[in-house]
Chain A
Amino acid sequence: MSRNPEEPVYNRIEEARVALGLSRQELADMAGVHYQTIGYLEREEYSPSLVLAIRIAKSLNQEVSELFSLTPFKKGK
């Protein structure tokens, strides 16, 4: 049986990062990834592993559930 196409993971990384005044490079260093990967995540072109999602949430002082969702976030929330 074949797997379904990858389900998109929506996130608020950019919003949370900007609120903390962090650059992509700074967040990348904190999460232990390349700055391009942060860019792909923010554009929702890459779905992170659970480990990376937890590391990013921790770096941004957020809960994983506040930062990532399988449904689009409502604007301004």
Chain B
Amino acid sequence: MSKKNKIYWFEGVTEKGVKSLLTDENSKYRWLRPQRNRRVLVTLMVVGLIAVAMGSYWPNLKTNMNLSSGAQIIVYSVTAIFVIFAVLVGYLFLRISVRGIGDAPDELLDERQIKVRDTSFRYAYYAMGYLIAGLLILMLSGPELKLFEPDGNDGSYVIIAVVFAFSSMPSMVLAWRERDI
């Protein structure tokens, strides 16, 4: 008799999904587990998030690249799709690398895992605070952002980057800090 797969709506995970990650069911992702590889992944995620955010400042960059109008649109669209997709894949790998502990509910974790997850959230909260403060300073002193407007600096990419950062920050902290066993 198959047990019902409980959905944790608040965390956005399922019981089977979390248990599968925690028990290392899929050995093909084992290469993600060593701390060195996790740290490389975190670094790539940070680079990816910065690249996504830079999409909002593309109009300034593309004028410096002397691209023709048609080429601009193609390069802009393809680059944007590629970078966002790469960050999404990075986010999924990041969750696998920390066995989904960053998003798992208490009842599926043991006491040490709950402790390291909570500590990661504390550091992630600080990191997001600094990130938001930095963005506010950039918005006040940097090039003007016009949210969701086709001309000028469209701020939607900054928002996408911040949403990605919010959802991945606890796993990034966990991936960086958790030592190998």
Contacts and interface: CB of A to CB of B under 8 A. Distances in A.
Tell which of B109, B111, B113 has the most Cβ of chain A within 10 Å: B111
Interface string B97-110: 00000000000011
Chain A's interface size range is 10 to 19
A40 B177 CA distance: 14
B179 interface: yes
A45 B111 contact: no
A49 B112 CA distance: 9
A48 B181 contact: no
A33 interface: yes
Interface string B109-128: 11111000000000000000
A37 interface: yes
B113 A34 contact: yes
A40 B110 contact: no
B13 interface: no
Interface in A28-55: 32-34, 36-37, 39-40, 43, 45-46, 48-49, 51-52
A47 to B, nearest CB: 10
Contacts of A32: 110
Contacts of A34: 22, 109-110, 112-113
B181 A46 contact: no
A48 B112 CA distance: 8
B179 A48 contact: no
Chain A interface, DSSP helix/strand/loop, else mixed: loop
Tell which of A32, A36, A45, A46 has the most Cβ of chain B within 10 Å: A36
A51 B113 CA distance: 15
A37 B181 CA distance: 9
Contacts of B111: 33, 37, 48-49, 51-52
A49 B181 CA distance: 20
Tell which of A34, A43, A45 has the most Cβ of chain B within 10 Å: A34
Interface of B: 22, 109-113, 179, 181
The 7 tightest CB contacts between A and B, nearest first, are: A39-B181, A33-B110, A37-B112, A36-B181, A46-B112, A37-B110, A34-B110
25 contacts: A32-B110, A33-B110, A33-B111, A33-B112, A34-B22, A34-B109, A34-B110, A34-B112, A34-B113, A36-B112, A36-B181, A37-B110, A37-B111, A37-B112, A37-B113, A39-B181, A40-B112, A40-B181, A43-B181, A45-B179, A48-B111, A49-B111, A51-B111, A52-B110, A52-B111
